[in-house]
Structure 1
Amino acid sequence: MAKKKLVTIPSQYVRDDQDCSVASSNREVPVIDMQRLINPTDHDDSMNIELQKLHFAAQEWGFFQLINHGVSCSVVERMKHEIQEFFNLPLEEKNKYEQSPGDTDGFGQLFVVSDEQKLDWADLFYLKTAPPHMRMPVFSKLSCFT
């Protein structure tokens, strides 16, 4: 869409149902502590509190920041770099990894089921990594995911 000259916003991107109030835009992205989920202490309710936060994040936000997950900073930084490299590719190249009908893995929009539904303003690259038998071999060709 960014390559086209548009005069109006395509209807599938207009969301009349969104709360655009100042109060809702000032909230912070939920932060979930993985260690509190997997190693709760006996003397406090940290796991239940974290589960409630996770439920709220999934229901109200659709995403969250995960901390204390055990993945090294270097691995996270490399993944961020490689993802950026993928999205810097020309559209024709990214489209080679387009989602197949009925599948979520690949480049595009997630869960597009009709031409009338509302879409997000961003494309994504969805990739199952675990369990290993769920990985799709076509994506192993991408240098950024090897």
Structure 2
Amino acid sequence: METKAISLGRSLSVPFVQELAKKGLISVPPRYVHTDQDPPIISLDSSSPQVPVIDMQRLLYEDFMDSELQKLDQACREWGFFQLINHEISSKLVGKVKLETEEFFTMPMEEKSKYVQQGDLEGYGNMFVLS
């Protein structure tokens, strides 16, 4: 079976947020502000919305699969992320991935730029910046 590459168009080259922060900006540049979206809810109040939790085990059992898939769909559409539980990935591996991710993002921009996206979805950066 032949696979075909999907072109997502071109993105504009924009400064990395990390570089902007180093310049001591005191306000968010307008290109990063989306006025068509609700502002984020930042609260420690337990009545505020909670990050969706998806149970991997429930996705594997027919009795619970449909309801958990609906929760997953809603989390992806409305939040863009979720917390996955009961995935059976060892806490040691999760910790290692977290540590290596932190190490990557603290590298100098020159070093991170070696891993920048080159026309596909893999790599560092954001191919969806289409101002």
Q: CA deviation at 1:24?
A: 9.8
TM-superposed deviation, 1:68: 0.7
Distance 2:100 2:37 in 1: 32
**CA distance in structure 1 between the partners assigned to 2:64 and 2:32 by the alignment:** 39
Residue 56 (structure 2) aligned to one of 24, 34, 43: 34
Is 1:48–2:89 an aligned residue pair?
A: no
Alignment gaps of 5+ in structure 1: 117-146
1:69 pairs with 77, 87, 104, which one? 87
Gaps of 5+ in 2: 1-19
Aligned to 1:9: 28
Deviation at 1:98, TM superposition (A): 0.8
Residue in structure 2 matched with residue 106 of structure 1 by the alignment: 123
Distance 2:23 2:40 in 1: 30
Q: Which runs of 4+ in 1 moved over 6 A?
A: none
2:22 match: secondary structure: coil
Task: Give, in whole Å, the separation in 2 of the partners of 1:21 and 1:82.
Answer: 28
1:97 has 2:115 as partner:
yes
Question: Quick check: 1:104–1:111 contact (8 Å CA) kept in 2?
Answer: no
Q: Which has the bigger relative contact order, CA under 8 A and spacing at least 6?
A: 2
1-structure distance, mates of 2:55, 2:113: 36
Query: Equivalents in 2 of 1:24, 1:49: separation in Å?
Result: 28
Which digits, 9 at most, give the CA deviation of each residue in 1:103-139, with x for residues without a partner? 1111112423x2x1xxxxxxxxxxxxxxxxxxxxxxx
Q: Cα deviation per residue 1:28-69 (whole Å; 9 max; x = unaligned)? A: 1000001100123xxxx4212111110110110011011111
Task: Name the % identity.
Answer: 53
Q: 1:85 to 1:8 in 2, by over 3 A?
A: closer
Q: Deviations over 1:78-98 (max 9, x none)?
A: 100011011111111111111
TM-score (norm 1): 0.66
Shift of 1:17: 1.1
